Amino acid sequence: MNSILIVDDSNSMRLMVEQTLSSAGFDITAAEDGEVALDIATNRDQPFDLIITDVNMPGMDGIALIHELRKLDEYDTRPILVLTTESGEDKKMAGKSAGATGWIIKPFVPDKLVAVANQVVHG
Amino acid sequence: MIARSLYCELASYCEEDTVSENTATAQSLLDLTVRDNRRVMDELTKCFVELSHRIDILNAQLSNVGGDAAADPAHLATLMQVNEVQQLINEHIEHMQVHDITDQRLVHIARLLADGNVNPESVVAEERERELIEMLSCGMEATAAVELIHALPIKKHVTELF
Protein backbone atom coordinates (compact mmCIF):
# COMPACT_ATOMS: atom_id res chain seq x y z
CA MET A 1 0.00 0.00 0.00
CA ASN A 2 1.43 3.39 -1.01
CA SER A 3 1.80 5.97 1.72
CA ILE A 4 0.89 9.66 1.59
CA LEU A 5 1.63 12.47 4.04
CA ILE A 6 -1.01 15.22 3.99
CA VAL A 7 -0.04 18.63 5.38
CA ASP A 8 -2.77 21.24 5.98
CA ASP A 9 -3.61 23.48 8.94
CA SER A 10 -7.33 23.08 8.31
CA ASN A 11 -8.74 20.08 10.13
CA SER A 12 -11.73 19.86 7.76
CA MET A 13 -9.52 19.95 4.69
CA ARG A 14 -7.24 17.25 6.14
CA LEU A 15 -10.29 15.05 6.78
CA MET A 16 -11.58 15.49 3.24
CA VAL A 17 -8.23 14.74 1.60
CA GLU A 18 -7.56 11.86 4.00
CA GLN A 19 -10.94 10.22 3.36
CA THR A 20 -10.71 10.72 -0.39
CA LEU A 21 -7.29 9.10 -0.66
CA SER A 22 -7.74 6.38 1.94
CA SER A 23 -10.90 5.26 0.08
CA ALA A 24 -8.69 4.92 -2.98
CA GLY A 25 -6.37 2.55 -1.12
CA PHE A 26 -3.61 4.84 0.12
CA ASP A 27 -2.15 4.70 3.62
CA ILE A 28 -2.55 8.23 5.02
CA THR A 29 -0.64 10.19 7.67
CA ALA A 30 -1.64 13.79 8.41
CA ALA A 31 0.20 16.82 9.84
CA GLU A 32 -1.10 20.31 10.68
CA ASP A 33 1.95 22.34 9.61
CA GLY A 34 5.35 22.14 7.97
CA GLU A 35 7.36 21.60 11.13
CA VAL A 36 5.26 18.66 12.28
CA ALA A 37 5.36 17.22 8.75
CA LEU A 38 9.14 17.48 8.55
CA ASP A 39 9.47 15.80 11.93
CA ILE A 40 7.19 12.93 10.87
CA ALA A 41 8.91 12.55 7.49
CA THR A 42 12.44 12.46 8.92
CA ASN A 43 11.61 10.04 11.74
CA ARG A 44 9.99 7.43 9.54
CA ASP A 45 11.71 4.21 8.53
CA GLN A 46 10.35 4.24 4.99
CA PRO A 47 9.88 7.55 3.16
CA PHE A 48 6.36 8.48 2.09
CA ASP A 49 5.52 7.71 -1.54
CA LEU A 50 3.86 11.11 -1.90
CA ILE A 51 3.56 14.31 0.10
CA ILE A 52 0.63 16.68 -0.43
CA THR A 53 1.01 20.07 1.22
CA ASP A 54 -0.89 23.33 1.60
CA VAL A 55 1.06 26.59 1.20
CA ASN A 56 -0.22 29.07 3.78
CA MET A 57 0.23 27.53 7.22
CA PRO A 58 1.40 28.92 10.56
CA GLY A 59 5.04 28.24 11.39
CA MET A 60 6.77 26.54 8.48
CA ASP A 61 4.75 27.05 5.30
CA GLY A 62 4.44 24.62 2.39
CA ILE A 63 7.18 26.17 0.25
CA ALA A 64 9.69 26.08 3.12
CA LEU A 65 8.69 22.48 3.81
CA ILE A 66 9.44 21.48 0.21
CA HIS A 67 12.83 23.24 0.44
CA GLU A 68 13.69 21.27 3.59
CA LEU A 69 12.47 17.93 2.22
CA ARG A 70 14.46 18.29 -0.99
CA LYS A 71 17.64 18.57 1.09
CA LEU A 72 17.05 15.03 2.37
CA ASP A 73 18.35 12.07 0.32
CA GLU A 74 15.15 10.06 0.82
CA TYR A 75 12.97 12.90 -0.49
CA ASP A 76 15.12 14.41 -3.22
CA THR A 77 13.05 12.76 -5.97
CA ARG A 78 9.81 11.77 -4.21
CA PRO A 79 6.68 13.43 -5.62
CA ILE A 80 5.43 16.45 -3.67
CA LEU A 81 2.11 18.01 -4.69
CA VAL A 82 0.93 21.41 -3.52
CA LEU A 83 -2.82 21.62 -2.78
CA THR A 84 -3.70 25.25 -2.21
CA THR A 85 -6.02 28.18 -2.87
CA GLU A 86 -3.03 30.08 -4.22
CA SER A 87 -3.30 30.54 -7.98
CA GLY A 88 -0.81 33.37 -8.46
CA GLU A 89 2.05 32.69 -10.84
CA ASP A 90 4.68 34.02 -8.42
CA LYS A 91 3.73 31.56 -5.67
CA LYS A 92 3.47 28.73 -8.17
CA MET A 93 6.94 29.52 -9.50
CA ALA A 94 8.27 29.63 -5.94
CA GLY A 95 6.82 26.16 -5.41
CA LYS A 96 8.29 24.87 -8.63
CA SER A 97 11.71 26.31 -7.76
CA ALA A 98 11.54 24.70 -4.33
CA GLY A 99 11.01 21.33 -6.00
CA ALA A 100 7.25 20.77 -6.11
CA THR A 101 6.07 18.10 -8.55
CA GLY A 102 2.73 19.74 -9.23
CA TRP A 103 0.23 22.40 -8.22
CA ILE A 104 -3.47 21.75 -7.52
CA ILE A 105 -5.92 24.52 -6.75
CA LYS A 106 -8.61 24.02 -4.08
CA PRO A 107 -11.42 23.12 -3.94
CA PHE A 108 -10.36 19.71 -5.21
CA VAL A 109 -12.57 17.22 -7.02
CA PRO A 110 -12.18 13.85 -5.23
CA ASP A 111 -11.89 11.67 -8.36
CA LYS A 112 -9.38 14.02 -9.95
CA LEU A 113 -7.23 14.15 -6.81
CA VAL A 114 -7.07 10.35 -6.73
CA ALA A 115 -6.14 10.29 -10.43
CA VAL A 116 -3.29 12.80 -9.94
CA ALA A 117 -2.01 10.96 -6.84
CA ASN A 118 -1.94 7.68 -8.80
CA GLN A 119 -0.25 9.37 -11.72
CA VAL A 120 2.65 10.83 -9.72
CA VAL A 121 3.11 7.79 -7.46
CA HIS A 122 2.97 5.15 -10.19
CA GLY A 123 4.47 7.22 -12.97
CA MET B 1 -17.27 40.83 -14.37
CA ILE B 2 -19.04 40.17 -11.08
CA ALA B 3 -15.87 40.81 -9.16
CA ARG B 4 -15.17 44.02 -11.03
CA SER B 5 -18.68 45.45 -10.64
CA LEU B 6 -18.78 44.63 -6.95
CA TYR B 7 -15.36 46.12 -6.58
CA CYS B 8 -16.45 49.36 -8.24
CA GLU B 9 -19.56 49.52 -6.10
CA LEU B 10 -17.77 48.85 -2.85
CA ALA B 11 -14.73 50.96 -3.70
CA SER B 12 -16.93 53.99 -3.07
CA TYR B 13 -16.18 53.40 0.60
CA CYS B 14 -12.65 54.54 -0.11
CA GLU B 15 -13.83 57.89 -1.34
CA GLU B 16 -15.43 58.65 1.99
CA ASP B 17 -13.42 60.22 4.74
CA THR B 18 -13.76 57.18 6.95
CA VAL B 19 -11.51 56.73 9.93
CA SER B 20 -9.72 53.42 9.46
CA GLU B 21 -10.20 51.05 12.39
CA ASN B 22 -8.45 48.00 11.11
CA THR B 23 -8.27 46.17 14.41
CA ALA B 24 -12.01 46.43 14.97
CA THR B 25 -12.66 45.40 11.37
CA ALA B 26 -10.33 42.43 11.78
CA GLN B 27 -12.26 41.33 14.86
CA SER B 28 -15.56 41.72 12.98
CA LEU B 29 -14.20 39.48 10.25
CA LEU B 30 -13.12 36.85 12.75
CA ASP B 31 -16.57 36.97 14.35
CA LEU B 32 -18.06 36.05 10.99
CA THR B 33 -15.97 32.93 10.49
CA VAL B 34 -17.02 29.53 11.76
CA ARG B 35 -13.82 29.11 13.76
CA ASP B 36 -15.81 28.93 17.01
CA ASN B 37 -17.98 26.26 15.44
CA ARG B 38 -15.03 24.30 14.13
CA ARG B 39 -16.23 21.12 15.82
CA VAL B 40 -19.56 21.34 13.96
CA MET B 41 -17.73 21.96 10.69
CA ASP B 42 -15.50 18.94 11.30
CA GLU B 43 -18.48 16.74 12.17
CA LEU B 44 -20.28 17.76 8.98
CA THR B 45 -17.14 17.06 6.98
CA LYS B 46 -16.80 13.62 8.55
CA CYS B 47 -20.44 12.92 7.79
CA PHE B 48 -20.09 13.79 4.09
CA VAL B 49 -16.85 11.93 3.54
CA GLU B 50 -18.23 8.86 5.30
CA LEU B 51 -21.37 8.97 3.16
CA SER B 52 -19.21 9.32 0.08
CA HIS B 53 -17.14 6.30 1.10
CA ARG B 54 -20.22 4.13 1.69
CA ILE B 55 -21.86 5.16 -1.56
CA ASP B 56 -18.61 4.24 -3.33
CA ILE B 57 -18.85 0.73 -1.87
CA LEU B 58 -22.54 0.44 -2.77
CA ASN B 59 -21.82 1.63 -6.29
CA ALA B 60 -19.05 -0.94 -6.70
CA GLN B 61 -21.33 -3.74 -5.44
CA LEU B 62 -24.14 -2.75 -7.79
CA SER B 63 -21.73 -2.50 -10.72
CA ASN B 64 -20.50 -6.04 -10.07
CA VAL B 65 -23.95 -7.58 -10.53
CA GLY B 66 -23.77 -9.90 -13.51
CA GLY B 67 -26.03 -12.01 -15.74
CA ASP B 68 -29.66 -11.13 -16.37
CA ALA B 69 -29.84 -9.06 -13.21
CA ALA B 70 -27.47 -6.50 -14.72
CA ALA B 71 -30.00 -5.69 -17.44
CA ASP B 72 -32.97 -5.57 -15.06
CA PRO B 73 -34.59 -2.11 -15.38
CA ALA B 74 -35.02 -1.94 -11.59
CA HIS B 75 -31.32 -2.61 -11.12
CA LEU B 76 -30.37 0.01 -13.69
CA ALA B 77 -32.67 2.55 -12.06
CA THR B 78 -31.09 1.86 -8.66
CA LEU B 79 -27.62 2.23 -10.15
CA MET B 80 -28.62 5.57 -11.66
CA GLN B 81 -30.03 6.78 -8.35
CA VAL B 82 -26.87 5.80 -6.50
CA ASN B 83 -24.80 7.71 -9.04
CA GLU B 84 -26.99 10.76 -8.54
CA VAL B 85 -26.55 10.52 -4.75
CA GLN B 86 -22.79 10.22 -5.24
CA GLN B 87 -22.80 13.34 -7.38
CA LEU B 88 -24.87 15.20 -4.78
CA ILE B 89 -22.50 14.22 -1.97
CA ASN B 90 -19.51 15.32 -4.05
CA GLU B 91 -21.19 18.69 -4.55
CA HIS B 92 -21.66 19.02 -0.77
CA ILE B 93 -18.03 18.09 -0.19
CA GLU B 94 -17.07 20.84 -2.59
CA HIS B 95 -19.32 23.31 -0.73
CA MET B 96 -17.67 22.33 2.55
CA GLN B 97 -14.28 23.04 0.98
CA VAL B 98 -15.45 26.44 -0.24
CA HIS B 99 -16.67 27.33 3.27
CA ASP B 100 -13.36 26.20 4.70
CA ILE B 101 -11.36 28.16 2.12
CA THR B 102 -13.44 31.31 2.67
CA ASP B 103 -12.96 30.99 6.39
CA GLN B 104 -9.20 30.68 6.02
CA ARG B 105 -9.11 33.70 3.73
CA LEU B 106 -11.08 35.78 6.22
CA VAL B 107 -8.76 34.78 9.07
CA HIS B 108 -5.76 35.56 6.88
CA ILE B 109 -7.11 38.98 5.92
CA ALA B 110 -8.12 39.75 9.52
CA ARG B 111 -4.60 38.88 10.69
CA LEU B 112 -3.04 41.20 8.13
CA LEU B 113 -5.43 44.00 9.05
CA ALA B 114 -4.82 43.59 12.77
CA ASP B 115 -1.05 43.60 12.24
CA GLY B 116 -1.33 46.79 10.25
CA ASN B 117 0.27 44.93 7.39
CA VAL B 118 -1.96 46.04 4.55
CA ASN B 119 0.82 46.65 2.10
CA PRO B 120 -0.29 45.35 -1.31
CA GLU B 121 3.04 43.52 -1.56
CA SER B 122 2.40 41.52 1.60
CA VAL B 123 1.80 37.80 1.50
CA VAL B 124 -1.80 37.96 0.37
CA ALA B 125 -2.89 35.09 -1.82
CA GLU B 126 -4.46 36.88 -4.70
CA GLU B 127 -5.33 40.21 -6.24
CA ARG B 128 -8.94 39.96 -5.07
CA GLU B 129 -7.74 39.63 -1.45
CA ARG B 130 -5.52 42.68 -1.85
CA GLU B 131 -8.55 44.59 -3.14
CA LEU B 132 -10.56 43.39 -0.19
CA ILE B 133 -7.93 44.55 2.29
CA GLU B 134 -7.83 47.91 0.58
CA MET B 135 -11.59 48.31 0.86
CA LEU B 136 -11.69 47.12 4.47
CA SER B 137 -8.97 49.63 5.32
CA CYS B 138 -11.16 52.31 3.80
CA GLY B 139 -14.13 51.43 5.97
CA MET B 140 -16.04 48.67 4.24
CA GLU B 141 -17.93 46.58 6.77
CA ALA B 142 -16.93 42.99 7.48
CA THR B 143 -20.34 41.60 6.45
CA ALA B 144 -19.96 43.22 3.03
CA ALA B 145 -16.48 41.71 2.74
CA VAL B 146 -17.86 38.23 3.43
CA GLU B 147 -20.62 38.68 0.85
CA LEU B 148 -18.04 39.87 -1.63
CA ILE B 149 -15.69 36.94 -1.11
CA HIS B 150 -18.60 34.50 -1.46
CA ALA B 151 -19.73 36.20 -4.68
CA LEU B 152 -16.34 35.85 -6.32
CA PRO B 153 -15.92 32.98 -8.75
CA ILE B 154 -13.44 30.33 -7.70
CA LYS B 155 -11.12 28.20 -9.71
CA LYS B 156 -11.72 24.50 -9.14
CA HIS B 157 -9.15 21.76 -9.20
CA VAL B 158 -6.82 23.27 -11.73
CA THR B 159 -3.87 20.88 -11.85
CA GLU B 160 -0.47 21.58 -13.29
CA LEU B 161 2.30 19.02 -13.16
CA PHE B 162 5.79 20.54 -13.49
The ipTM, to two decimals, is 0.85
User: How do residues A31-55 score in pLDDT, each as one tens digit?
Assistant: 999 999 999 999 998 999 999 999 9
Which regions of chain A are under pLDDT 50? none
This prediction has a pTM of 0.74
The identity of residue A68, as a single letter, is E
The predicted pLDDT at position A59 comes to 83
Contacts of B105 in chain A (CB under 8 A): 85
In a mutagenesis test of the B interface, which of A106, A111, A118, A122 is the best target, namely the one with the most B β-carbons within 10 Å?
Answer: A106
Distance, CA of A104 to CA of B16 (rounded, Å): 40
Per DSSP, A73 falls in state G
Report the alpha-carbon distance of residue B3 to residue B148 in Å, rounded: 8
Cβ atoms B151, B26 nearer than 8 A:
no
Minimal CA–CA distance to B156: which of B75, B89, B81, B101?
B101
**Per residue in B53-96, pLDDT tens?**
788 888 888 888 878 888 889 888 988 998 898 888 888 888 88
B36-68 b/e with 16+ CB inside 10 Å = b? eeeeebbebbeebbebbeebbeeeeebeeeeee
CB A101 within 8 A of CB B160: no
Phi and psi based region of residue A25 (left: phi greater than 0; alpha: psi -120 to 50; beta: remaining)? left
Check B101 against A88: CB less than 8 A apart. Answer: no
Contacts of A18 (CB under 8 A, 6+ apart): A6, A28, A30
Beta bridge partners of B161: A102
Residue A103, classed as helix, strand or coil, is strand
Question: Which residues is B160 bridged to in the sheet?
Answer: A103
Chain B partners within 8 Å of A11 (Cβ): 38, 42
pLDDT tens track for B45-55? 888 888 887 88
Sign of CA dihedral A84, A113, A60, A100: negative
Provide the shortest C-alpha distance from residue B57 to chain A (in Å).
9
